[in-house]
Structure 1
Amino acid sequence: MRHLRLPITLTRSGMLAEQLMRAFWPLWTVALVILAAMMMGWHETASLEAFWSAVVIGAVALFSTLFWGLRWFRVPSRLEAIARVDAAMPGRPIAAIADTQAIGGDDPASTAVWQAHLARMAERTKSAHAVEPDLTLTDRDPYGLRFMALLFFVVALLFGSLLRITSVGDVVSGSNDTLLAGPVWEGWVEPPAYTGKPAIYLNDVPAGDLSVPTGSQVTLRLYGEVGALTLAETVSGRTGEIAAASDPQQKFDITQSGTLSVLGDNGIAWDITAIADEAPEVELTGPIEADAMGEFSQPFMAFDDHGVETGTATITLDLTQVHREYGLTIDPDPIDPLVIDLPMPYTGSRTDFDALLIDDLSEHILANLPVTMQVQVVDAAGQVTDATAEQMILPGRRFFRPFAKAVIEQRRDLMWSKANVVRVNQVLRAMAHRPDELGIEETSYLRLRTIIRQLDRMSEFGMNDDGQGEIVQALWDLAVQLEDGRLADARKRLERAQERLAEAMRNGASDAEIAELMQELREATDDYMRLLAEESEPSNGTDQADNSENTTELSMDEIQALMDRIEELMQEGRMAEAAELMEQLNQMMENMRVTQGEGGDGPQTPGQQSMQDLAETLRDQEDLSDDAFRELQEQFNPAPQGQQPQQGEQGQQGEQGEDGTEPGEQPGEQGAQGQEPGNSGSAGDTGEDGQGGGQGLAERQQALRDELQRQRDGLPNLDGEAGEIARQSLEQAEGAMDGAEEALRNGDLAEAIDRQAEAMNALRNGMRELGKSLAENGNDDPGQGTEQGEASGRPVPGARDPLGREIGNTGQSGTEQELLGGVDVNRRAEELLDEIRRRSGEQERPEIERDYLRRLLDQF
């Protein structure tokens, strides 16, 4: 058969390789040892008697291993290759085809059965594949002699030279008696480690020009009679004590270009060119930028021929540019320059890179003052380069409320000079004279009065560094409180509750402690959300910036659902999953906008309608895939009518309660779910011919495909890459549905399930990208008020998967619900996996079922 030629030929080639390895491994092991010894130059240093003894031993070993290999080597025949290919297939179909019918040749029924058997075996031969050869030699070489020889050869390649093999002829002919006593000289040039360049073995370098980095170290060894060879060089620039030119070992660094010579018999000379290490370069590539909270970013670029090691940015007060008024009229106290380390790339090359210096210096004295920034980089050779100092205003946090701005100004004056303590005290007293007119809260006023009392004492007795730092910090906290109002305190309380809960996760808290900490977190979250909603009202008169494009829109129900899930996981001891959800909650709380209830009642946008329709299509496709899987099981595991599945098959049929419902499903819901539009008929319904079930599934698949095509035609016009990816994903989903429909009509349920899985994955990806595109194009959040947990990436309270289970709080398809009633999940999963392996190995099962089970195993 033609389709067997290639597997048989490849298998025979592999068998030939097996024979070569098993017969001749001693030969190449001995050959590697001999080559390694010659590359290391042992024949040059050995005496003449030892050299010839080694030659005789090596020749005997080579001829012995060659004779042994030829004796045991055998070319595998084609019949042996066919037998190996045949043995790799179940039932040995190739041998079966070659068999003849022993009895019953005159019986037409027997002959028909025999012909059917031959046809099935011939079909099975189409799955023939080349059998991998067994090249292991552990049984023949238990001590790993071949690996020792290979290691010996690799070491010789690294530290020896192939050119030394040619000197064997000189030893045999005796043309160069001096080589019998060893090499005349040896030399190495080792470049500095930071260059990353390899060492140079001078014996392999011919006379002439040689370029090496400056700072390379030369090591030279002279053999033989002292004085027979001498060193002459002009590359080290040494002026102090210099070793004698005839010393057996010389070591020095190359600092300049010049010559390096070995004088005497077999001498040699090189013209050395010392390549100087270039100084690094650095520059600021753009203006400094900052946000309203004071965090700034300064872009810069640095490069060096061998890589930048470190860098710093020095920020110095530019006193000449300071507008000297109010508290700045007097000379400032000494202000040390601020030195910040430049960020270096963690991975990749440092020879040429762009980076951002990001920091928040809002609380520093230099914030919002004229400064000069000078960046400096250092390379591995210790060379330092300073960029030109740039003048700028060092960014700091911006305060919008007048009272907060006034407090920050007094804080700056006090940091400017301790002599401003009296003036700052007087200004703060004037500000606190009529608190009712300022419109500040009582807590902020009390903090201000406390600061004033401290300044009174310092005005009388003097201010030291510790007192100055205490007042400066208190003024900063007061200004932040005045600017942010109660929201800052609520945020700190929320962060503190989150930190305590995270600590409890790490230490394994009890159920009572978990309940107490979760209650604290809920209360802190409620306070923060309430204050956030109040601050976001247009009529509150605050100066909060509108960053709605960077916020996340959440409802209290979603947050409570996520916290309930965290508490449940902690009580079950699944701390890793709880910590992951806790981190997700922290990120969601960092940047969000509060909504009321589950969503608005206003009209949906076209994008929202498309997302809702696609979610409905996805749910219908999941239901259809479940029905197809149940029908596939019923084909191979039919049960008598009215008989419940046995305990061993519950893993395949799905975990059900005693009343036949899914876990978490109320009795009566199962039947209601089967009556959804587009899902008419049960999975197991068949017509009189036994094919009605498959045809019914195909009709449902066709209806879903037509619906998806209609939804694709009704998508809004969205620009950007995400919109294009969404359209392509939905097109792929439609193609997969078409393939599933064709497989269902042909009765290939396993293939249909695979195509349906592709369609569902493509649908999910399309919904996710459509959500991104809607956000980029300024549409409302498509997940608001719908069930697109997958598109928005947020949990949707009350949402259920195709099996009627509650969807997990990560918003992904699937469930985090306990389905086994306390049974160890890992043990149950292992039992199911073993059962799948057992069934896939049973030869009596139909090939289509075994092929499907093997595909299941590939997933795990």
Structure 2
Amino acid sequence: MSEPTPDSPEPERNPDTVSRLRIAQALRQAEFAIAWERGWPHLARFLTVAGLFLVLSWAGLWLALPFIARAIGLGLFLVLALAALSPLFRFRWPSRQDALGRLDRGTGIRHRPATTLTDTLTTQDPVALALWQAQRERTLASIKRIRAGLPSPRLAIHDPWAFRALIVVLMVATYIAAGDERRVRVAAAFDWNGVFAAENIRVDAWVTPPLYTGRPPVILSAANKEAALPASGPLAVPAGSTLIVRSSGGALDVVVGGGVTEAAAKEQAPKGTSEKHFTIAGDGTAHVRAPSGQPQWRFSALPDHPPVIALAKDPERQARGSLQLSYKLEDDYGVTEAHAQFATRSAAGAAETRPLFDAPQFSLVLPNVRTRNGVGQTVKDLSEDPYAGAEVTLTLTAKDEAGNEGRSAPFEMRLPERLFTKPLARALIEQRRILALDANQRPQVNEALQALLIAPELFTPEVGHYLGLRSVEQELEVARTDDAMRGVVASLWALAVTIEDGNITDVDKALRAAQDALKEALERGASDEEIKKLTQDLRAALDNFLRQLAEQLRNNPQALARPLDPNTRVMRQQD
């Protein structure tokens, strides 16, 4: 027997065979439709019960009920669920006759067309066979109208009040309201640990705020099922507080949510007890489910705000080029440290600079050890700093115990510098600052130093000054590394001070050292004997300074003719 080739025409199907295939397909659809109509009302009733369970769970009912009430409530829901499912135990799949009857009713034609097409003829009588065939042909003409139709379970008859729609709406509302606690609230219905808890078990719970806040602990529960915390509203505690739950017996089961997370215990629990620690980093809840029921605790974490620091007034220049800063401090728990930071101001469109030194920064004096609100003042001598006289941006920073940092608004200023009256000393200090703030300016600074060596009789009449300037210029000429150029910066300062002060430099340093020692002793509260000795040392250093200054003025009468700096204060021996 040969097989048909792909190009050969497909044999025509017998119309009777096609009708049987359509009838078989329609029968299957009718069976499924009848099965759905029989089973869906009972299944919908069960889903309604399950939906009601979820609504009550997400609403937090089980968290508010004691353990026994939870067990009773869950038992009621199990009974309702079994009652809704019990009709399904008697469910029977639709028979062929049920399906044929549905098809016969769906055609709208009398004489049961679907049943007629499935009938068979047992007699061989030619007359009966002819009549049966004519009836089949007439029925085949109406085969296109045989349909199983869509299922119609008629839920309105079983639920005339549309309770199922209300459950769906409540499920959506409670699902959104439960948030991240959906699983916890549903699982609470199955928590019956407290039903069998011993009566002598004690549960203690308290919240310990961070030490730097200075707040006392908050007692949540001091005895079995006795809450010291009122149920109205969440408890406001500082962020970073520690929740400690201690049980005198039984397995400790604590469920937390939100910003409350479990943490490692820092100390071992007392003997015969079990203990758990939790960190309250944000708003959250905690619920002790076993060994004895406690109400759910809600916490509102109070954030630790960054400190606030700002200038109380503009920075001031003090005598001898010191900088005085006055600033206001404020923090909810107290400032523990503060600093002043400077940054150079680069002109718009300027090329990138390469400073040899970091911008100055120093600690600020706090009015108290932990300043919550106060005004502080710091005096810092930056006259020898390479950035002295530069245009900078000042920013004050303050930190608290938690590490939060506050910053002041940037303040543009010019750092105070020591005043040099001699032209050569001023020129050297200017070149020193240019080189210190930008190592790329080394060629220009070298040219400026060479220019100062052109006419020694005009610029450097003293041999010592000329030789010192020549030595610095040669040192810069061979400097190629940043360390070498930093040495040139130090040499420029030493040469400028020597030109300006002559031999008074060592005396000046001794005076400053005596001033700083006395100031440091006063700040740390030294004894009267130590302060008296440091005062005598300062007086001796001042006497030596005044003698050297008077001798220098006698040797240089031209200095008396120069006008005084407007910021200069006249000191007398009594001062």
Q: TM-score, normalised by structure 2?
A: 0.51
Q: State how far apart, in whole Å, the 1-side matches of 2:454 and 2:308 are.
A: 57
Query: Which residue of 2 is the match for residue 464 of structure 1?
Result: 481
- Structure 1 residue 305: deviation in Å? 0.3
Query: What one-letter code is carried by the residue in structure 2 that aligns with 1:528?
Result: Q
Name the structure where helix makes up a greater proportion of residues.
Answer: 1
- Structure 1 residue 480: deviation in Å? 1.7
Query: What one-letter code is carried by the residue in structure 2 that aligns with 1:404?
Result: A
Query: Which residue of 2 is the match for residue 234 of structure 1?
Result: 257
Q: State how far apart, in whole Å, the 1-side matches of 2:487 and 2:549 are.
A: 32
Once the two structures are superposed, the pairs formed by residues 11-50 of structure 1 within 5 Å of their partners are none
Q: Secondary structure of 2:412's match?
A: strand
- Structure 1 residue 236: deviation in Å? 4.1
- Structure 1 residue 396: deviation in Å? 2.1
Q: State how far apart, in whole Å, the 2-side matches of 1:294 and 1:416 are.
A: 19
Query: What one-letter code is carried by the residue in structure 1 that aligns with 2:305?
Result: E
Once the two structures are superposed, the pairs formed by residues 539-688 of structure 1 within 5 Å of their partners are 540-542=560-562, 544-545=564-565, 550-553=570-573
- Structure 1 residue 185: deviation in Å? 0.8
Structure with more contact order per residue of length (Cα contacts < 8 Å, sep ≥ 6)? 2
Q: State how far apart, in whole Å, the 2-side matches of 1:309 and 1:410 are.
A: 40
Q: Structure 2 residue aligned with 1:256, among 278, 282, 290?
A: 282
**Quick one: structure 1 residues 474 and 217, their matched pair in 2 at CA, closer, same or farther if it must change by over 3 Å?**
same
**Quick one: structure 1 residues 488 and 543, their matched pair in 2 at CA, closer, same or farther if it must change by over 3 Å?**
farther
**Quick one: structure 1 residues 224 and 429, their matched pair in 2 at CA, closer, same or farther if it must change by over 3 Å?**
closer
Q: State how far apart, in whole Å, the 2-side matches of 1:489 and 1:261 are.
A: 73
Q: State how far apart, in whole Å, the 1-side matches of 2:306 and 2:338 are.
A: 13
Query: What one-letter code is carried by the residue in structure 1 that aligns with 2:572?
Result: T
* Contact 2:367 2:376 survives alignment (8 Å): no
Q: State how far apart, in whole Å, the 1-side matches of 2:198 and 2:360 are.
A: 64
Once the two structures are superposed, the pairs formed by residues 111-122 of structure 1 within 5 Å of their partners are none
Q: State how far apart, in whole Å, the 1-side matches of 2:409 and 2:558 are.
A: 47
- Structure 1 residue 544: deviation in Å? 4.9
- Structure 1 residue 195: deviation in Å? 0.8
Q: State how far apart, in whole Å, the 1-side matches of 2:386 and 2:404 are.
A: 32
Once the two structures are superposed, the pairs formed by residues 831-850 of structure 1 within 5 Å of their partners are none
Q: Secondary structure of 1:234's match?
A: strand
Q: State how far apart, in whole Å, the 2-side matches of 1:523 and 1:360 are.
A: 22
- Structure 1 residue 495: deviation in Å? 8.6
- Structure 1 residue 253: deviation in Å? 1.0
| RMSD after superposition | 4.1
1:281 counterpart = 2:304: no
Q: State how far apart, in whole Å, the 2-side matches of 1:397 and 1:539 are.
A: 17
1:396 counterpart = 2:395: no
**Quick one: structure 1 residues 491 and 304, their matched pair in 2 at CA, closer, same or farther if it must change by over 3 Å?**
closer
- Structure 1 residue 440: deviation in Å? 5.0
Query: What one-letter code is carried by the residue in structure 1 that aligns with 2:210?
Result: P
Q: State how far apart, in whole Å, the 1-side matches of 2:450 and 2:499 are.
A: 17
Query: What one-letter code is carried by the residue in structure 2 that aligns with 1:423?
Result: Q
Q: Secondary structure of 1:320's match?
A: coil
Q: Structure 2 residue aligned with 1:312, among 336, 339, 345?
A: 339
Q: Secondary structure of 2:419's match?
A: coil
- Structure 1 residue 217: deviation in Å? 0.8
- Structure 1 residue 439: deviation in Å? 6.9
Q: Secondary structure of 2:301's match?
A: strand
Once the two structures are superposed, the pairs formed by residues 161-172 of structure 1 within 5 Å of their partners are none
- Structure 1 residue 285: deviation in Å? 2.7
Query: Which residue of 2 is the match for residue 200 of structure 1?
Result: 218
Q: Secondary structure of 2:497's match?
A: helix
Q: Secondary structure of 2:333's match?
A: coil
**Quick one: structure 1 residues 395 and 194, their matched pair in 2 at CA, closer, same or farther if it must change by over 3 Å?**
same
Query: Which residue of 1 is the match for residue 490 of structure 2?
Result: 473
**Quick one: structure 1 residues 237 and 259, their matched pair in 2 at CA, closer, same or farther if it must change by over 3 Å?**
closer
Q: State how far apart, in whole Å, the 1-side matches of 2:412 and 2:388 are.
A: 14
**Quick one: structure 1 residues 546 and 269, their matched pair in 2 at CA, closer, same or farther if it must change by over 3 Å?**
closer
Query: What one-letter code is carried by the residue in structure 1 that aligns with 2:257?
Result: T
Query: Which residue of 2 is the match for residue 360 of structure 1?
Result: 381
Gaps of 5+ in 1: 1-176, 242-246, 325-329, 499-519, 555-591, 593-860
Query: Which residue of 2 is the match for residue 384 of structure 1?
Result: 405
Query: Which residue of 2 is the match for residue 431 of structure 1?
Result: 452
Query: Which residue of 2 is the match for residue 191 of structure 1?
Result: 209
Q: Secondary structure of 1:293's match?
A: helix
- Structure 1 residue 550: deviation in Å? 5.0
Query: Which residue of 2 is the match for residue 215 of structure 1?
Result: 240
Query: What one-letter code is carried by the residue in structure 1 that aligns with 2:277?
Result: K
Q: State how far apart, in whole Å, the 2-side matches of 1:489 and 1:542 are.
A: 24
Q: State how far apart, in whole Å, the 1-side matches of 2:462 and 2:238 are.
A: 70
Once the two structures are superposed, the pairs formed by residues 48-447 of structure 1 within 5 Å of their partners are 181=200, 183-204=201-222, 205-208=228-231, 209=233, 210-226=235-251, 230-238=253-261, 248-263=274-289, 267-291=294-318, 293-320=320-347, 332-334=353-355, 338=359, 340-345=361-366, 347=368, 349-438=370-459, 441-447=462-468
**Quick one: structure 1 residues 453 and 436, their matched pair in 2 at CA, closer, same or farther if it must change by over 3 Å?**
same
* Contact 2:367 2:375 survives alignment (8 Å): no
Q: Secondary structure of 1:395's match?
A: coil
Q: State how far apart, in whole Å, the 1-side matches of 2:487 and 2:284 are.
A: 65
Query: What one-letter code is carried by the residue in structure 1 that aligns with 2:203?
Result: W
Query: Which residue of 2 is the match for residue 90 of structure 1?
Result: none
- Structure 1 residue 522: deviation in Å? 13
- Structure 1 residue 364: deviation in Å? 3.5
* Contact 2:243 2:277 survives alignment (8 Å): yes
Percent of aligned positions that are identical: 26
Q: State how far apart, in whole Å, the 2-side matches of 1:337 and 1:491 are.
A: 26
Q: Secondary structure of 1:319's match?
A: coil
* Contact 1:188 1:202 survives alignment (8 Å): yes
- Structure 1 residue 473: deviation in Å? 1.2
- Structure 1 residue 248: deviation in Å? 4.4
Q: Secondary structure of 1:303's match?
A: strand
Deviates more, 1:429-438 or 1:400-409: 429-438
Q: State how far apart, in whole Å, the 2-side matches of 1:335 and 1:382 are.
A: 31
Query: What one-letter code is carried by the residue in structure 2 that aligns with 1:304?
Result: D
Q: Secondary structure of 1:467's match?
A: helix
- Structure 1 residue 358: deviation in Å? 3.0
Aligned residues: 340
**Quick one: structure 1 residues 283 and 527, their matched pair in 2 at CA, closer, same or farther if it must change by over 3 Å?**
closer
**Deviations 1:650-685 (CA, angstroms, capped at 9, x unpaired):** xxxxxxxxxxxxxxxxxxxxxxxxxxxxxxxxxxxx
Query: What one-letter code is carried by the residue in structure 1 that aligns with 2:403?
Result: G
- Structure 1 residue 476: deviation in Å? 0.9
Q: TM-score, normalised by structure 1?
A: 0.35
Q: State how far apart, in whole Å, the 2-side matches of 1:524 and 1:240 are.
A: 65
**Quick one: structure 1 residues 443 and 497, their matched pair in 2 at CA, closer, same or farther if it must change by over 3 Å?**
farther
- Structure 1 residue 320: deviation in Å? 1.5
Q: State how far apart, in whole Å, the 1-side matches of 2:541 and 2:397 are.
A: 46
Q: Structure 1 residue aligned with 2:551, among 515, 523, 531?
A: 531
* Contact 2:284 2:298 survives alignment (8 Å): yes
Q: State how far apart, in whole Å, the 2-side matches of 1:382 and 1:539 are.
A: 54
Once the two structures are superposed, the pairs formed by residues 776-815 of structure 1 within 5 Å of their partners are none
Q: Secondary structure of 1:311's match?
A: strand
- Structure 1 residue 319: deviation in Å? 0.8
**Quick one: structure 1 residues 267 and 302, their matched pair in 2 at CA, closer, same or farther if it must change by over 3 Å?**
same
- Structure 1 residue 315: deviation in Å? 1.5
Q: State how far apart, in whole Å, the 1-side matches of 2:216 and 2:312 are.
A: 35
Q: Which of 1 and 2 has greater Rg?
A: 2
Query: What one-letter code is carried by the residue in structure 2 that aligns with 1:531?
Result: E
Q: State how far apart, in whole Å, the 2-side matches of 1:364 and 1:495 are.
A: 15
**Deviations 1:362-400 (CA, angstroms, capped at 9, x unpaired):** 344433222222222222222223333222222222323
1:453 counterpart = 2:498: no
